[in-house]
Structure 1
Amino acid sequence: MKSIKFRTADMAWDIAALILLPPDFDESRQYPTIVSVHPFGSCKEQTSSNVYGAALAREGFVVIAYDASYQGESGGAPRFVEDPAQRVEDISHVIDHAITLPYVDADRIGAIGVCGGGGYALSAALTEKRIKAVVGITPVNLGRLFREGFSNFDPLGALDAMAAQRTKEARGGDLQVNELLPASLDDAKRNGLTERDVFEATDCYKTPRGQKPGGATRMVFSHAQKTLTWDAFAFAETFMTQPMMVVIGQKVGAFGAYRDGMEVYGRSIASKDRQLVELEGWSHYDIYDKSEPVALALERMLPFLMRHLRISKNAKVAAAL
């Protein structure tokens, strides 16, 4: 695994990334490459690299897991901005860098993403045709979530509050940085925050299970206006032409991955190969890192990505084809 920072010609800050390499890696060969997109409020060291990225690398893919702009070790200010348009653009910037690497086959690039990252990966594939296959793992359409649960189903009220707060900040006031989760499982229980997704997210991000320094689970409130009008799946009927797969758990939670996954699968009628994988008895956060549901997801993902990125199922490393 390599830790890198890069900046393409049209970027104003660095992107930090981990490059995971196959066994017996040979820099003189070219490999199919996966861009791995972390969840909302997460970072590259969590599920995007240490779970799915590591598994794909073991099967012969080069995997690039990176921190989104404004988050983790990547640049951009103010910190903790969640900007869907920038998150999608980050994917293109990572591809721009990847295709300069001699061991990356520019014609065999795929993308995967988890949670909000799944929504971003699917959204990027609509217009980024260098992506030849895409997998949304328990994908969430963050725009829909902000319009509904994250704004208490009052998006216009949220926009008014964001406008007022941004005015205060422009006049010298402090940034309002919202913590997205309870501080601990005990805190969640004390405050009645035991809805499945909220409680399981707290277990994932606020305990040693998945806690990492870059996984801040914080967001600048005043810079989230455009999220409310963003739709990860806009025009999917026309523009999702690549092979696409959606992996969702059947145990439904408030963040809406089951609903969003079903929606984008249903709308992607132009896809050359669309597949829906439902994991019975598993929830959104189970699919992040629990061994059994992850194995079930990979059981379907690996043949799909190998087929569409032209790698033998039995290969330990990707040969130049």
Structure 2
Amino acid sequence: MESVKIQNRDMAWHIAANIQFPPNFDAAMTWATIIAVHPFGSCKEQTSGNVYGKALAEQGFVVIAYDASFQGESGGEPRWIEDPTQRVEDISHVIDYAVTLPYVDADRIGVIGICGGGGYVLNATLTEKRIKAVVAITPVNIGRLFREGFSNYDPLGALAAMAAQRTKEARGGELQVNELLPASPGAAKVAGLTERDVFEATDYYKTPRGQQPGGWTRMLFSHAQNTLGWDAFAFAEILMTQPMMVVIGQKVGAFGAYRDGMEIYGRSTASKDRQLVSLEDWSHYDLYDKPEPVDLALEKLAPFFKKHLNEATGQ
């Protein structure tokens, strides 16, 4: 694995990334390459890089897993901004970097994203036609989630609060950084936060199971306005032309990945090859790292990427 800092001419900061190579990697050859995008509140050392990225590299792909701008080891101030427009633009910036690498085949680039990252890769694929195939693992349309559960179904109230807080900070007040999850599964139980997705997220992010230094699960409240006005799936009926696979678990939780996955699959009628993988016995966070559901997902998505990223050259 190689760790790099990506500096794009359009950016005032760097993007930190890990490049993972196939076992038989030869820099003199060109390789199909997959950009791996982490969930909301996550980092490249968690499911996007250490689970799916690692597995896809073992399957013969170059994989670039990176930290979003303002998060993890990437640059950008203030910290912990979650801006969907920037998150999608990050994908194009990483592709800009990838196509400068002599061993990357610019005509064989795919993307994979998990949770909020799944929504971001789907949205990026609508307009970024350098992407030849997309896989979304338990994807969440973060705009829909913010307008609903994350704002207590009061998006206008949330926007008013964000506006007031941003004015306060502009005048020198303290930043409001919201912690998205309880401190531990035990704390979640004490607080009565036992809904499936909330509790399982806590079990992943707040225990040694998934905890990583860059996975802060934090958000700068005052800079989240754009999220409430964003839709990952806008114009999908027209613009989603590339091959697309969505993997969802049938154990439904409050974050809505099952619903969102079904929606984007149903709307992407222009896709050259749309596939839905629905796993009966598994939940959103099971698909982050649990061996059995991850293996079930890989059984479908690895051949999907091999088909669509290798067909141009016949490899």
- Which bin holds the TM-score, normalised by the shorter protein? over 0.9
Superposition TM-score, scaled by structure 1 size: 0.97
Question: Counterpart of 2:257?
Answer: 257
Deviation, structure 1 residue 112: 0.4
Residues 1:226 and 2:226 are matched in the alignment: yes
**C-alpha offsets along residues 65-109 of structure 1, whole Å, 9 cap, x if unaligned?**
000000000000100000000000000000000000000000000
Task: Give every structure 1 segment of 4 or more consecutive aligned residues whose post-TM-superposition deviation is greater than 2 Å.
Answer: none
> How many angstroms apart in 2 are the aligned matches of 1:16 and 1:204?
23
Alignment partner, residue 276 of structure 1: 276
Question: Which SS does the other structure have where 1:209 is aligned?
Answer: coil
How far apart are the structure 2 equivalents of 1:9 and 1:71? 19
Partner of 1:204: 204
Map of 1:302 onto structure 2: 302
Q: 3-state DSSP class of the match of 2:197?
A: helix
Post-superposition offset of 1:8: 1.4
- Structure 1 counterpart of 2:167, which letter? T
The C-alpha deviation readout for 1:9-54, integer Å capped at 9, x for no partner, is 1111000000000012110000000000000000000000110001
Q: Secondary structure of 2:120's partner?
A: helix
User: Which residue does 1:3 correspond to in 2?
Assistant: 3
Task: Give per-residue Cα distances to partners, 1:270-294, cap 9 Å, x unaligned.
Answer: 0000000000110000000000000
In the other structure, the counterpart of 1:314 is none
Aligned to 2:266: 266
Matched residue pairs, number? 315
Q: Distance in 2 between matches of 1:140 and 1:134?
A: 15
CA distance in 1, matches of 2:97, 2:264: 28
Q: Is 1:152 aligned with 2:158?
A: no
Aligned to 1:171: 171
Q: Following the alignment from structure 1 to structure 2, what is the Cα–Cα distance between the partners of residues 32 and 168? A: 48
Matches within 5 A, 1:36-115: 36-115=36-115
3-state SS of the aligned residue for 1:275?
strand
The answer to whether the 8 Å contact 1:29/1:320 transfers is no
Name the residue aligned to 2:236.
Answer: 236
Instruction: Give the secondary-structure state (helix, strand or coil) at the position aligned to 2:97.
Output: helix
Separation in structure 1 between the aligned mates of residue 220 and residue 102 of structure 2, nearest angstrom:
38
Q: Which amino acid aligns with 1:296?
A: L
Q: Secondary structure at the match of 2:153?
A: coil
SS at match of 2:162: helix
Q: Which runs of no fewer than 5 residues in structure 2 stay unpaired?
A: none
Question: Residue 108 of structure 2 aligns to a residue in which SS?
Answer: strand
Counterpart code for 2:189: K
Contact 1:31 1:320 in 2 (8 A): no
Distance, in Å, in 2 between the alignment partners of 1:41 and 1:255 is 14
Q: CA RMSD in A?
A: 1.2
Report the 3-state secondary structure (helix = DSSP H, G, I; strand = E; otherwise coil) of the residue aligned with 1:309: helix
1:320 CA drift (Å) = 9.0
Secondary structure of the 2:278 match is: strand
Q: What corresponds to 1:315 in structure 2?
A: none
Residue 211 of structure 2: SS of its match in structure 1? coil
In structure 2, C-alpha distance between the alignment counterparts of 1:60 and 1:136, rounded to whole Å: 19
AA matched with 1:135: V
